[in-house]
Structure 1
Amino acid sequence: MAATVEAVPLVSGEGAEREPPPSQPDANAERGPDPEPAPLLFSSTMSRGGYHQCGSGRRVKFYVLENQAWADRGTGYCAGVYDEKHDEALLVARKEETCTSLGSVADASVPEGVQEGDASPQEYMLVVSESLASDDFLLHAPVIKDDVYQRQQDTLVVWTALDGTDMALSFQELEGCNEVWDFITEVQNHFVLSRGLEYGKSLEAALPPFELPPPTLANLTTIEEDLRLSSLHSVAMRDKVIEWLLKEDYIRSLTPLLKEAEEQHALPALHRLFEIMKTILLMNDNLVVEYLLQDDVFFAVAGMLEYNPERPHLKASYRLHLSDEAKFHQVVDFDDPTILAKIFETYRLVYLKDVMLAGLVDDALLSMLNSLVFFYQNDIVNYCINDPQLWTQLEQVYQAPTDDTTRVQKAKGVVFVQHLCTMGKQIQLPGRIALFRCLIDGGVLPIIEYALSTTDTALQVAASDILSTLIEYDANSVRAYILKEVHEEKTPLLCRLQVLLHDGQDPALCTQWTEAVRALMDMNMDGLAHSPMGQGLAAKSRIDVDELLTWLYDGTVQQLLEPLRHLPDMQRLPLTKGIKIDSPQWMLYSHLCDLLCFIIEHHSFRSQYYILTSNVCSHVGSLLHAQNKHMRLAALRVLRACVSSHNQFTYRHLMQLDVMGHVLALLQKEAPRDNLVSSACLGLFEQLRRDNVRPLLSDLVQKHNDMLEALRTDPIAGHGIEALLQQQARNQSSGVSDSEDSLTGSPTLNEEAAEQDYFDSEEALDVLPHPDKETDIEALAPLMERRRKHEEEEDDLVERVAKRPASDRQG
């Protein structure tokens, strides 16, 4: 906007002090003896008496908020005006029938695609006159220096006036809204830049005084109405109300009324108290909330919130829960009384947010309550991190002999650590990592083992939650603790999880234990503390990964997956016979199949050796004939992992077991149903085709060509089987034998050529493992050991080369 609001008389859009009306001659001598009148622009400034209109008036509708509804006060033209007499900037809106048109403007233009008659007005509309006292004016309000203006939906300006009234201007054109909004912005910038010069009155000085009547049952209706109306005013008015309430300690003076109303069974009065407290809370002030958390105030507040008028025949039991069911149990002593008070207040704050105000809070109040919880919990966690005596006390609790008294105290300690971990998840990453490292160093893992060894499900849930959190943030420290237990010949934590998983009946707990075992066996996962996001926040525990894996495969993995070997042998099952698995067992088999898939994908030669020596695939393959659909899917996942391993020993093992024949039989049975099982079977065959696993393809066609031909015409499975047979035909026409292609034929297997060359050097391809030939299985042990040593030598060589100076490596 060309006009600028300053303390001096306003400058026009054309650079003149005041632009005279078109009827007056222009006396500017620089234009020559016959000056032409200056063109009229939308940004031109017009003066009438002591009022200077900045730009053309823009067509608007003026609204005022009355009883929570917008009332239309009329249509007119609005412009920014400078009042020279009172040195004020004004927003002026005048009824459209009384505004004056000064003619067309020079900078008018019709937007493309709009007919000239449909375009916005192209005339300069004069809004001001020498007096603004006439009823012709819908609005003449000073621009307030406070930030009370909002622009909404491009053409709407909303603000709160000095007296707390909400007003709105709805513009017909976007350009008009832009011009008036620029005027408001320019005036408020002037307030910021001016040295002590103020336009208009101070908002705070203009606010009406606030005071509530004395707290009595007879005045409750008046108190509620006054609070409600004041809370609907401007932010400044709400701040004034809050300041008065805290200064007069008014909320505490309301607490005796609760007891009085309950003794009289005055339900309307109790409903009024609920509305009063709800209104106070919805003012969304953190000082008020902290005030309400005090001991002698909070229980009265809870009592008032028990009587919701929306449920007049029901009464909540907040006070009963806070006093009886949620007693505070102190496991360790806190030297700082402020922290102890903050723990009480944090619990009350969370209970207020999640229970007492459930369904009542708006987004602003919820955000403020969450912020308070965050800061309270951050203070508690920081205190626990920096107080070594706390962890010493906790360690002494679990070192004491277990009896009835100490058993209760130990159970409380587990819950205490769980709550501490829950609070730690809410704070920032450095504090989180510091807390969990402090927990590990402070001896929380023995506490977890104690809780897992009990039969109390609640303690097992708490311990599992703590363990999952520790693994998520610092899995390497948990592995180091397990190795320490192995060296000390104690029962390792991983073995405890294995026993719990085998005997578990709770599906949620078994899933959590499975994930914990999987994370501990994933040597590539160190935890969030050692990720790029948390790099440098905690020192990484050093462990011997090979030592841990060796311990795992010396017996722990076999014990973990032993229940799978109790399944029937697939080779002794007819292709069409199904097996029934009891409900407690299928959950365990599903978790163990997932763990088996994981070790196949991540533990390379160790898992391959286990697959061959344990014959576990033959037992897992029997699940292909289980009545439970998810058991069949679990078996298919294991077989896909075996195929993805690209290991020739595993392929030959699957060929001996004729696993693909059982999968084909399952597909033949499920194809007419077109379900998830048939899709999974087709996915496995598509993987064989895509990776061009020639040994398995050739064996499948040779042994089960009749079943393939039968499925070839199936409307569901036919396309996939046809593609499979075409791939095998191309393999046969290429002239490369399956034995030659087992090392070099498949594009995917070319990545493993170096590894397979090593097996050739050991003449390993002549070893054909068979479950009935123990001598063949034993022959694989030296081979696998030589391969492990070979890989270790390669790793050592890479490490030595990496440590050499860069100049030597380049040379």
Structure 2
Amino acid sequence: MTDLAVRPNHMEFNYLQRGKVYRLNDEGKWDDKGTGHVSVEYLERSDAVGLVVIDEEDNQTLLVHRISADDIYRRQEDTIISWTDPEVATDLALSFQETMGCSFIWDQICSVQRSIHFPSVGAMDGSARPVGDDLDHSGTSQDDDDAFRDCGGSEVVELPPVELSTLSLLAKTVAEVIPFDRDRVASMIVRDQNYIPKLLQLFRTCEDLENLAGLQLIFKIVKGIISLNDGHIFDIIFSDEYIMDIVGALEYDSDVTKCHCHRAFLKEQAVFKEAVPIRDPVILSKIHQTYRIGYIKDVILFRVLDDPTFASLNSIILFNNVSVVTALQSDSAFLSELFSRLRSLETSEGRRRDLVNFVQEFCNLSKHLQPLVRNQLFGALVKEGLLEIVKDILADADEAVRLSGCDILIAVLNHDPALLRSFLVHQSSHTLFNELVQGMLIPSESGVQAQLLEVMRMLLDSETIDTPAVEKSTFLETFYEIYMDQMVQLLTDGCPPELGSVEPANDPSVDAGKGMKRTVAPEILGNICELMCFCVQHHRFRIKYYVMRNHVVEKVLRLIRRKEKYLVVAAVRFLRTCISLKDEFYFRYIVKHNLFEPIIEAFVANGNRYNLLNSAILELIDFIRKEGLKTLVVHLIEKFSSKLECIDYVDTYRELKLKYEQILEGPPPSARDAGVAVTSSSPDHGSRTGRDRLGQRGLLDSRQLKDKVEDDSFNEDSDDEGNPAIAWVCTSSQPQTTKSVTVNGSAPSGVPSGLGVRNEAREYTSGDPLHRPYLARSRRWTYY
């Protein structure tokens, strides 16, 4: 301590560093205590080395802090050192003007801490860098190892020998090592190849002698060795030769009142099940090692491991799993035997369950593989018949087995959804597809329904469908023509036939001729509704016309008659999903069939209850108003104004009424006088003012013709025959740009002069960008 024993003159500032002192107040804010010069000095009163900050203006002492041996100091960015002072129980910080000054003081703090832990090193003695050295030689690096070597010189620190008399010193050296000395201590342990074997031999001796004090010290030593977080040490202590002794040493935790027999659990209770014999001893060793490391990490030391060590142990487990999966994947004989046992009718139920669990874990571990290796793995599994096996797994009577089958499918879909879609399309009679849908529609208590719903969502996700157009179309057509009809029918059967009647949730099925529907579990109805919402969002084209032909919205809204409130909310959510697309198709469909009526009736019946149903309907109305969906705004006000007037506790109705009045006012007079065409995403359907204006003119304009053509498309009793027609409508307000299309030289009856219909779906080219085609109703639809 020769250089620190004498306090330097305050005027010699070549070694003093300029910085600010901050203190954290009770409100969690940093108070500036002043600016001064920082130094590391010997404190005579406390007989220790500390930080001293002298005010640069009046030479008053701003801070005196005795440097602690504990790891309480943190260097933030390049110019800040902060810590929690245990003596005053508050947070302090030094903010330096220069990075070099901060680095110099940081090195001095580290040197003092080393001198406390390792007095023989003499970190602050003559071999250390003197405090008065030029700062140009102090360096700005935060590398603690370099600082240690610079300060330590050529002197070598020896670990205490492994003896019963030195266990206390060894525990202090290893278990209480400061973070920046961990690598140095770890290298000394690894350098002496007999160090860990001697320690474990001493552990066995203490256990034979029932030396509890020695065993508790060895626990601290082993815990400290693991916390050194060194890969070479992990290779030694986690080897088959030593790992059980390591686990045994970790049983003697002095902080735990009851000794846990971890070795007995690993040897007797943790039974290794080989679904198919693994003949490679290296792979078997890695499997056992992985389980034991996971046990140490998650059971024995879960309270004491720091984040870096925890991450290192996870990395070892990960790499072991990758090695095991890669080795088993390349063993074709192993895979063939695995699937042969799965197909065999002689396999017992217990053995079959073990085989399914093995395949499930095998597929889940594949996510850690490199993409190329993962492709090879799933290619090999599908080639061996994985998806055919899954069909039988999903039909198993054991729900746990079916749940494992769902996990296998999710693993396949996470890798490549096209694999499963292609199989479903080309499989004869679509047996796996049928198991997926039927499994989702059968009640279960283990979560199989939720898993299969997730599988169906992943299969129907349009963003992941990158298969050829023909295969994509075939897959979606199969789903809509077969399985969507089943779900809609089940949805219909699960709802009371008349508004106001509530069907008991657990009534047995009765004869449909007596007016009763079959019983359907409410969770199944909720899953169907959720899947339909997903389809509306992702299959806008196909679901649109499916909804029209099958009156799906009306059938979903029958859920409002159920007594389960979450099903009522699910019906509202489905309508909200349709409206959120902002598609005039849905707007006209909703208005034409008055589909808001059951929603408003449910709202009125709910009364003043402030619940999820109330909030969902108010949010739906507010969404229509905010997005300016004119068709629905006009419909709601003109049809349900008397029922919505009761909403006085929020501004929803008043703002909706204001929006309605703004719509009726129409465009500003200046726009009308200038003859500018004002277009919007939704016309004024149903507006009384609009109807009056049209009645005075006595002539259908182009906008109403478009509405008429599209409204006719909802008429199921249409007598249209032959090919679908395309109605070409000019929405321009300039008469000179109107184009005339005739059929056989004359316009159809009821169509004003200058507009017509063509019986062929051919693109119409015109210089006017406002010409648009619209699909008319016919017996057969053409999708394009």
1:607-636 deviations in Å (ceiling 9; x for gaps)? 123323333323322333544332222111
Aligned to 1:158: 110
- Work out which of the residue numbers 765, 782, 791 in structure 1 matches 2:711: 765
Please tell me whether residue 721 in structure 1 is matched to residue 653 in structure 2.
Answer: yes
User: Which amino acid letter does the alignment assign opposite residue 638 of structure 1?
Assistant: F
C-alpha displacement at 1:349, in angstroms?
Answer: 1.7
1:40-84 deviations in Å (ceiling 9; x for gaps)? 996699xxxxxxxxxxx96324589xxxxx975156999xxxxxx
C-alpha displacement at 1:665, in angstroms?
Answer: 2.8
Aligned to 2:755: none
Please tell me whether residue 585 in structure 1 is matched to residue 524 in structure 2.
Answer: no
- Work out which of the residue numbers 238, 243, 265 in structure 2 matches 1:293: 238
User: Could you tell me how far apart the structure 1 residues matched to 2:727 and 2:207 are?
Assistant: 84
Cα 1:282–1:697 shift into 2, 3 Å: closer
- Work out which of the residue numbers 534, 554, 557 in structure 2 matches 1:621: 557
Aligned to 1:23: none
1:502-548 deviations in Å (ceiling 9; x for gaps)? 1132363322211110110123215xxx8xxxxxxxxx788611111
SS of match in other structure, 2:39: strand
User: Could you tell me how far apart the structure 1 residues matched to 2:581 and 2:175 are?
Assistant: 68
User: Could you tell me how far apart the structure 2 residues matched to 1:366 and 1:447 are?
Assistant: 38
Please tell me whether residue 73 in structure 1 is matched to residue 48 in structure 2.
Answer: yes
Cα 1:412–1:199 shift into 2, 3 Å: closer
Please tell me whether residue 747 in structure 1 is matched to residue 689 in structure 2.
Answer: no
User: Which amino acid letter does the alignment assign opposite residue 570 of structure 2?
Assistant: A
Cα 1:222–1:636 shift into 2, 3 Å: same
Number of residue pairs matched by the alignment: 614
Please tell me whether residue 411 in structure 1 is matched to residue 353 in structure 2.
Answer: yes
1:582-617 deviations in Å (ceiling 9; x for gaps)? 698222222211111111222234212332333332
Alpha carbons 1:245, 1:251 under 8 Å: kept: no
Please tell me whether residue 444 in structure 1 is matched to residue 386 in structure 2.
Answer: yes
C-alpha displacement at 1:455, in angstroms?
Answer: 2.4
Aligned to 2:625: 689
Cα 1:507–1:387 shift into 2, 3 Å: closer
User: Could you tell me how far apart the structure 2 residues matched to 1:253 and 1:150 are?
Assistant: 48
User: Could you tell me how far apart the structure 1 residues matched to 2:663 and 2:385 are?
Assistant: 61
Alpha carbons 2:491, 2:555 under 8 Å: kept: yes
Answer 1 or 2: which has greater helix percent: 1
- Work out which of the residue numbers 261, 270, 274 in structure 2 matches 1:326: 270
Cα 1:212–1:638 shift into 2, 3 Å: same
C-alpha displacement at 1:648, in angstroms?
Answer: 5.3
Alpha carbons 2:160, 2:169 under 8 Å: kept: no
SS of match in other structure, 1:728: helix
User: Which amino acid letter does the alignment assign opposite residue 565 of structure 1?
Assistant: T
Cα 1:390–1:694 shift into 2, 3 Å: same
C-alpha displacement at 1:480, in angstroms?
Answer: 0.8
SS of match in other structure, 2:462: coil
- Work out which of the residue numbers 651, 667, 684 in structure 1 matches 2:603: 667
User: Could you tell me how far apart the structure 1 residues matched to 2:338 and 2:608 are?
Assistant: 62
Aligned to 2:287: 343
Aligned to 1:731: 663
User: Could you tell me how far apart the structure 2 residues matched to 1:448 and 1:321 are?
Assistant: 34
Please tell me whether residue 515 in structure 1 is matched to residue 454 in structure 2.
Answer: yes
1:548-594 deviations in Å (ceiling 9; x for gaps)? 11111111111234321113367x315xx766656982222222111
The correspondence of residues 321-470 of structure 1 with structure 2, limited to 5 A, is 321-334=265-278, 336-400=280-344, 402-405=345-348, 407-427=349-369, 431-432=373-374, 435-470=377-412
The correspondence of residues 211-222 of structure 1 with structure 2, limited to 5 A, is 211-213=161-163, 219=164, 222=166
User: Could you tell me how far apart the structure 2 residues matched to 1:315 and 1:791 are?
Assistant: 86
Cα 1:222–1:604 shift into 2, 3 Å: same
1:69-110 deviations in Å (ceiling 9; x for gaps)? x975156999xxxxxxxxxxxxxxxxx9xxxxxxxxxxxxxx
Alpha carbons 1:61, 1:74 under 8 Å: kept: yes
The correspondence of residues 92-171 of structure 1 with structure 2, limited to 5 A, is 116-117=57-58, 152-153=81-82, 155-156=105-106, 157-159=109-111, 161=114, 164-165=118-119
- Work out which of the residue numbers 282, 305, 330 in structure 1 matches 2:250: 305
- Identity over aligned residues, as a percent? 21
Q: TM-score normalized by structure 2?
A: 0.67
Please, which runs of 5 or more residues in structure 2 have no aligned partner?
1-10, 17-36, 68-77, 83-93, 95-104, 125-129, 507-518, 669-676, 684-701, 729-758, 764-784
User: Could you tell me how far apart the structure 2 residues matched to 1:454 and 1:187 are?
Assistant: 63
Q: TM-score normalized by structure 1?
A: 0.65
User: Which amino acid letter does the alignment assign opposite residue 230 of structure 2?
Assistant: D
- Work out which of the residue numbers 563, 567, 589 in structure 1 matches 2:490: 563
C-alpha displacement at 1:427, in angstroms?
Answer: 4.8
Alpha carbons 1:501, 1:513 under 8 Å: kept: yes
Alpha carbons 2:14, 2:132 under 8 Å: kept: no
The correspondence of residues 622-641 of structure 1 with structure 2, limited to 5 A, is 622-641=558-577
User: RCO higher in 1 or 2 (8 Å CA, sep ≥ 6)?
Assistant: 1
Alpha carbons 2:491, 2:556 under 8 Å: kept: yes
Please, which runs of 5 or more residues in structure 1 have no aligned partner?
1-39, 46-56, 65-69, 79-95, 97-113, 122-137, 139-148, 170-175, 193-197, 214-218, 531-539, 737-743, 751-755, 795-811
Cα 1:73–1:520 shift into 2, 3 Å: same
User: Could you tell me how far apart the structure 2 residues matched to 1:186 and 1:728 are?
Assistant: 69
Cα 1:150–1:701 shift into 2, 3 Å: closer
User: Which amino acid letter does the alignment assign opposite residue 346 of structure 2?
Assistant: D
Alpha carbons 1:693, 1:746 under 8 Å: kept: no
Q: Which sits farther off after the overlay, 464-473 or 149-158?
A: 149-158
C-alpha displacement at 1:438, in angstroms?
Answer: 4.5
User: Could you tell me how far apart the structure 2 residues matched to 1:63 and 1:431 are?
Assistant: 64
User: Could you tell me how far apart the structure 2 residues matched to 1:652 and 1:380 are?
Assistant: 59
SS of match in other structure, 1:557: helix
User: Could you tell me how far apart the structure 1 residues matched to 2:132 and 2:563 are?
Assistant: 71
Aligned to 1:489: 429
Alpha carbons 1:424, 1:432 under 8 Å: kept: yes
Cα 1:293–1:208 shift into 2, 3 Å: closer
Cα 1:369–1:341 shift into 2, 3 Å: same
User: Which amino acid letter does the alignment assign opposite residue 59 of structure 1?
Assistant: S
Cα 1:119–1:607 shift into 2, 3 Å: same
Alpha carbons 1:464, 1:509 under 8 Å: kept: yes
1:259-296 deviations in Å (ceiling 9; x for gaps)? 636xx6x7656545544433332333333333333334
SS of match in other structure, 1:185: coil
SS of match in other structure, 1:60: strand
- Work out which of the residue numbers 534, 548, 555 in structure 2 matches 1:598: 534
Alpha carbons 1:629, 1:677 under 8 Å: kept: yes
Cα 1:745–1:349 shift into 2, 3 Å: farther
User: Could you tell me how far apart the structure 2 residues matched to 1:515 and 1:150 are?
Assistant: 51
Alpha carbons 1:255, 1:297 under 8 Å: kept: no
User: Could you tell me how far apart the structure 2 residues matched to 1:587 and 1:178 are?
Assistant: 77
1:769-795 deviations in Å (ceiling 9; x for gaps)? 4xxxx646x9799869999xx99999x
User: Could you tell me how far apart the structure 2 residues matched to 1:322 and 1:339 are?
Assistant: 18
1:306-341 deviations in Å (ceiling 9; x for gaps)? 3433232x3434334323443222334546432232
Cα 1:403–1:483 shift into 2, 3 Å: same
Aligned to 2:160: 210
Cα 1:734–1:207 shift into 2, 3 Å: closer
User: Could you tell me how far apart the structure 2 residues matched to 1:670 and 1:395 are?
Assistant: 56
SS of match in other structure, 2:233: helix
SS of match in other structure, 2:392: helix
